Chain A
Amino acid sequence: MKKRKYRKCSHENIGWFYILPWIIGFLIFKAYPFASSLFYSFTNYNLFKGFSSFGLMNYKKIFETKKIMNSYAVTFKYAFMTVPLKLIVALFIAYILNFKIKGVNFFRTAYYIPSILGGSVAIAVLWKAIFKDDGIVNTLLGYMGIQQQSWLSSRTNALFVICLLRIWQFGSAMVIFLAALKGVPKDLYEAASIDGAGKWKQFFNITVPLITPVIFYNLVTQLCQAFQEFNGPYIITQGGPRESTTLISLLIYNNAFKSYEMGLASAQAWILFIIIMTFTVLAFISEKKWVFYSDDETR
């Protein structure tokens, strides 16, 4: 009897055994650092001096320090410039590549390559070389008779250069859009054509509504990534000129690893987390109004 009970019990609990490695990894590499950083965010923890006080001083400092608030503002600017542009470009290219045109496979591959290269250190270094005053971009502008720009030393242009690095990697979003476009039934376009709808009307009234789940997915994932951008500003501009590209992730890095103010850096990271979570929640709340699922009978 006992043996049977034991066998039943261990059979029911075998699932825990299989997910135990994941649980251990989660506890060590996610839960513990999360909890530690939350704790440190309420202390004046310095990497080499430890901590001596506990309270809301870091959060107070964040809202009272112009430099830190500026970095959040720059991050917002960056995210809300990059994400819409990236999605628009990705959708546009995917729409074109959905047609049966000669060499379409080559173009699909070519447009995906930047996503593979990513915004790595090597690419960021290359980006800096391309956009410096005597770089390729200014040389080409010169040949075309267009006035050369200070890409890296102008506050507006420098942020645009950083945005462009992420927009350039539209390939992964494009591939997802392409898969979604292939799922749109062709007979809907045929019916619309018969009713006299032009290409633009078909795009906005048939294509876009049917791929809103994919737009939603890309929007949420890209927004989360954009808020956490680091490589571009760190390598290309070091947050300059004049803090115009000091995104919050870079400021967190500087406070943590240059000033050793881990408490303050942790508090900044938690505020960033709350911001990202808020936008994600807002996106999910708004989902009901504009995302259409084919199996949703209420729409």
Chain B
Amino acid sequence: MRFSWWGGDSRHNATLKAIEAFEKKYPNIKVESQYGAWGGWLDQLAVQIAGKSEPDVMQINWNWIYQFSKDGNGFVDLNKYNDVIDLKQYPQTLLDQMTLNGKLQGIPVSSTGKVFYWNKTTFEKAGIAVPSSFDDMIKAGKIFKEKLGDDYYPMALTPYEQMLIMVYYLQQKYNKQWIVNQKVNFTEDEVAEGIKFIRMLEDNHVYPSQKKLAGDGADTMDKNPNWINGKYAGFYEWDSAQARFANALADKQEMVMGSYPYDYGKTKVATVKISMAFAVSKNSKHPKEAAMLINYLLNDNEAVDILGLERGVVSNENARKHLESAGKLTDLTYKSNVAAVENAGFALDPYFEDTKLKDNTGLYFEVFDDLSYDNADAKELAKKLVNGITEVQDSNK
């Protein structure tokens, strides 16, 4: 059977090792691996699913169940294999998030939260501590420009991260959920205010313009030479992916987790979601064996030792206890996840990351590119953003 996943090199190596161990344990089962980087992964998987040629076991984002299996029939109902997969090891709330129409679409692998990460080495070069508030970030922007030069920035954000920071700001200031009943829960004026906030940060040299980022010629931030050499000294990333960014830093530079800013209110608004899940193809000829692989990877101590926190902080209770007793829940991924969960607020809407919005050809990129390149009118952009999100929500009703 086939198993597919995306990730960085360390995740690939660990997963291949775990698969090897699984095949030793079950010699009658052969697993063909299909893996790669994140870029283009969803396009490829969508075509495979449409063409009924998808792998037996797939690593998916939790919200893909809404895209590929709205009626609950897109993936195998794993409730049917509760004799193979120990479902008692997962919090019911997480299983409920993976259930549609009473059918369990996938097993949650880990939870993940967006965290502020800082290159401590660069901040030390600038002679300041890493920021713990938006005000600190603005002050850092000025100091970076004066002491280190124009091409040094406290952080770098893609339009998607700018969208998340804007929602962070608005949710904290107005103490309300971004999307309610599939509608944007903010007025256009409020959204315009959020857009102005994002522009203000760029104007204060907190992060480079989108034009500068485009000129860097990097596909992802961890491959950007300015991140690697420490000129972009911060990023807003999922804790499950932080290792990729930390490992990319050159010359023993140190990456640390930052605090969540509370400049605009006391509401906790950190974004936390199920990081990813393992699902079984409805066209699989070996659903039981697929379920066995999932249970092995997530619940068997041997696999848990090999995989560690490569996919973020594990949702499986047995795995979590095992890693804790082995003293493995100490690294930055775990600490970041604990912090994210402690500061978590409103749940992420399942269509927040719809391709039409989140992709680099999507609405978030359009809006924040217009803002950065042209300093377009915030009210016009707010209207465009709200209308676009409404269109996507309506198409998913």
Contact = CB atoms under 8 A, between A and B. Distances in A.
Interface of A: 47-48, 128-129, 131-135, 150-154, 237-242, 246, 254, 257-260
B43 interface: yes
B350 interface: no
Contacts of A135: 217
A241 B214 contact: yes
**Interface of chain B, helix or strand or loop or mixed?**
helix
A257 B45 CA distance: 10
A186 to B, nearest CB: 49
Given A47-B50, A48-B50, A134-B225, A153 B361 contact: no
Contacts of B174: none
A152 B359 contact: no
Contact of B214 (A129, A240, A246, A257): A240
A238 B47 CA distance: 19
B369 A241 contact: yes
Contacts of B211: 150, 153-154, 241
27 contacts: A47-B46, A47-B50, A48-B50, A48-B68, A132-B218, A133-B212, A133-B215, A133-B217, A134-B216, A135-B217, A150-B215, A153-B210, A153-B212, A238-B360, A240-B214, A240-B369, A241-B214, A241-B369, A241-B373, A242-B370, A254-B361, A258-B42, A258-B43, A258-B361, A259-B356, A260-B46, A260-B50
A153 B369 CA distance: 11
Given A47-B50, A153-B210, A259-B356, 17 more contacts: A48-B46, A48-B50, A131-B217, A132-B218, A133-B216, A150-B215, A152-B217, A153-B211, A153-B212, A153-B213, A154-B211, A240-B360, A241-B369, A241-B373, A242-B373, A257-B43, A258-B355
Contacts of B46: 47-48, 257, 260
A237 B217 CA distance: 8
A234 to B, nearest CB: 9
In this complex, the interface size class of chain B, counting residues with CB under 8 Å from chain A, is: 20 to 34
A154 to B, nearest CB: 8
Given A257-B46, A258-B361, A153 B214 contact: yes
Interface in B356-390: 356, 359-361, 369-370, 373
Interface string B21-54: 0000000000000000000001100110110000
Given A48-B67, A258-B43, A132 B359 contact: no
A131 B214 CA distance: 11
Contacts of A134: 216, 225
B226 to A, nearest CB: 9
Nearest to A157: B215
Contacts of B47: 257
Interface in B195-238: 210-218, 225
A242 B217 contact: no
A154 B210 CA distance: 11
